[in-house]
Amino acid sequence: MKVSELDIQTTDSTLYNEDLAPLKPKDRNWGAFEIFNVWSNDIQSLFGYTLAASLFLSYGLNGWAVMAAIILAGIIVMVLVNLTGKPSVRYGIPFPVMVRASMGVRGANLPAMLRAIVGIFWYGVQTYFASTAVTLLITALVGGGEGATFLGLTGVAWLSFVIVWVFQIAIFWQGIERIKHFLNWAGPLVYAVMLVLMAIVWFQAGGELLPAVDTIFSGEAGDGGTNPVNAFLAIVGTMVAYFAAVVINFGDFTRFVKTERQMKRGNLLGLPLNVAFFSFIALIITAGTLVLFGEALTNPSDIVERVDSLPLTIVAALTFFAATVGINLVANFIPPAYDLANLFPSRISFKVGGLITAVIAFFVGALWISVISRIGVPGFVNALGAVVAPFYGIIVVDYYLIKRQELDMQQLFSSEPGGTYYYSHGWNTRALLAFGVAAVFSLSTVLVPALSDLNGYGWMLGAALGGLFYYGLMRHQAAPAAAAG
């Protein structure tokens, strides 16, 4: 592929704008460090820490087996994102443009908008949770955390929420470079603070820490009633599902990476190695709380509250804030911004798509406590996330087995009837059928009680079925872009 192939000659404003256009190699400045920080910010949230810590306690499984399951999940996700990231490294295109090759130039809006809805919803929720860290900081410094509430939030909580919301807008409005700088700063900072917290807990727990670790590692601290094999697989499935939101649209990040080798190195450092090390830190701190407080605490906020130290509260609040904003930008902001831009390229740029995301998300976060968390909306959005899974299999099978890793960039931005990716009125009906059949199954694992045991594996099974059905329907189609390379 020559650099000149990335020059798009088109006047089709329904498919093209500068933010969606292929990014030329000379304009890419991300390396392994930036990809590592994408994953660091993804795992280092309040929920990520709680998940990692709770896995050692929830299944009654030997700690070495838990660690092995976590590492295996990291390896699986690494393989998955290496597959979805490679096309965008080569061609410099974001996810909604990449998916045009399989779904059609119009049909790409279906997976893009489903992914956008999920991202916008959780962007609002995570904005609220990030604001709780600011509330913790303000209350610790000047008080005022109690008093009259509106929609379940105090005055300080509302102030904190608006501060976080505006802060995030200020970052993304300055473009992807500012987002990169924030991620590169937040990832190492959170790690440093977590290491310091681990050292403090280890020092205070003294000689009792290692016996506490042994108690957790032996499985004595959890529920031993689960079959070991089922418990192992459940941990793997849970961890893969945790990263699923980023897996499908990983090309939104790898389009900025200089080489495939740097992407793979960043994924290796950021996934199996990073997840294992972060889980080890969570394990040590959890064991320390077992010694210091008589119970294993998996929520960092609970730990800070028990310690009751102003300096620690300030540092923890800033850390929680940075970590949660980091994952919000990675998993919930960048994807919807591109997805919305893909819907109306002539009217919606990356920045405008981000602004739309932020405005809608404001109401989601503001209503989280009083309304949304009480009416089952999170369950609906999780179901929607499961529905998106088959698109992963479709994208991978299409690129590697059907298109043989060759795409025609010019045709990805053309809505001319008879075009390579125009299919039927812009939609690939075979891909749509494969998606529909696979989505019924992945959705059933969330909604049908009889299939509840498969819930943790719903994403992987849905992705596998989507790819399998798509290949069955498309295998006789010649690779239309074979001559483009």
Burial class of residue 373, CB neighbours in 10 A (0-12, 13-18, 19+): middle
| pLDDT (average), residues 36-63 | 83
CA-to-CA distance for 433 and 107, rounded, in angstroms? 12
Backbone angles phi, psi at 416, to 5 degrees: -70, 130
What single DSSP character describes residue 371?
T
The pLDDT tens digits for 423-450 are 999 999 999 999 999 999 888 887 787 7
CA 232 to chain centre: 22
Whole-prediction pTM: 0.88
Q: Mean pLDDT lowest for which of 91-100, 133-142, 373-382, 417-426?
A: 373-382
Q: How far is CA 449 from CA 71, 250, 357, 459, in A?
A: 30, 32, 33, 17
Question: Two tokens at 3?
Answer: 């650099």
Q: What is the pLDDT of residue 355?
A: 94
Q: Mean pLDDT lowest for which of 3-12, 73-82, 372-381?
A: 3-12
Domains and CATH numbers, the chain: 3-484 (1.10.4160.10)
Q: What is the pLDDT of residue 482?
A: 40
Q: pLDDT over 70 for what percent of the chain?
A: 91
What single DSSP character describes residue 24?
P
Q: Is 257 helix (H, G, I), strand (E, B) or coil?
A: strand
Q: What is the pLDDT of residue 268?
A: 96
Q: What is the pLDDT of residue 394?
A: 97
Q: What is the dihedral of CA 232, 235, 238, 242, to 10 degrees?
A: -130
Q: Is pLDDT above 80 for 188?
A: yes
- Which alpha helices (DSSP H) does 218-333 contain, by range? 228-247, 251-254, 260-268, 274-293, 300-307, 310-327
Q: What is the pLDDT of residue 419?
A: 92
Q: Is 357 helix (H, G, I), strand (E, B) or coil?
A: helix
Q: What is the pLDDT of residue 483?
A: 38
Q: What is the pLDDT of residue 444?
A: 85
Q: What is the pLDDT of residue 413?
A: 94
Q: What is the pLDDT of residue 289?
A: 86
| pLDDT (average), residues 476-480 | 60
What single DSSP character describes residue 220?
T
What single DSSP character describes residue 330?
I
Contact by Cβ (8 Å): 135, 268: no
The pLDDT tens digits for 136-164 are 888 888 876 566 678 888 888 899 999 99
The pLDDT tens digits for 324-360 are 888 888 888 999 999 999 999 999 999 999 999 999 9
| pLDDT (average), residues 311-317 | 81
Higher local confidence (pLDDT), 169 or 6: 169
Q: Is 149 helix (H, G, I), strand (E, B) or coil?
A: strand
| pLDDT (average), residues 233-244 | 85
Contact by Cβ (8 Å): 213, 283: yes
CA 408 to chain centre: 29
CA-to-CA distance for 193 and 42, rounded, in angstroms? 16
Q: Is 7 helix (H, G, I), strand (E, B) or coil?
A: coil
Q: What is the pLDDT of residue 481?
A: 44
CA-to-CA distance for 322 and 311, rounded, in angstroms? 17
CA-to-CA distance for 241 and 48, rounded, in angstroms? 12
Q: Mean pLDDT lowest for which of 68-72, 125-129, 250-254?
A: 125-129
Mean pLDDT of the chain: 86
The pLDDT tens digits for 113-125 are 999 998 998 899 8
CA-to-CA distance for 158 and 288, rounded, in angstroms? 34
Q: What is the pLDDT of residue 427?
A: 96
Q: Is pLDDT above 60 for 220?
A: no
| pLDDT (average), residues 403-432 | 94
Q: Is pLDDT above 90 for 106?
A: yes
Higher local confidence (pLDDT), 424 or 300: 424
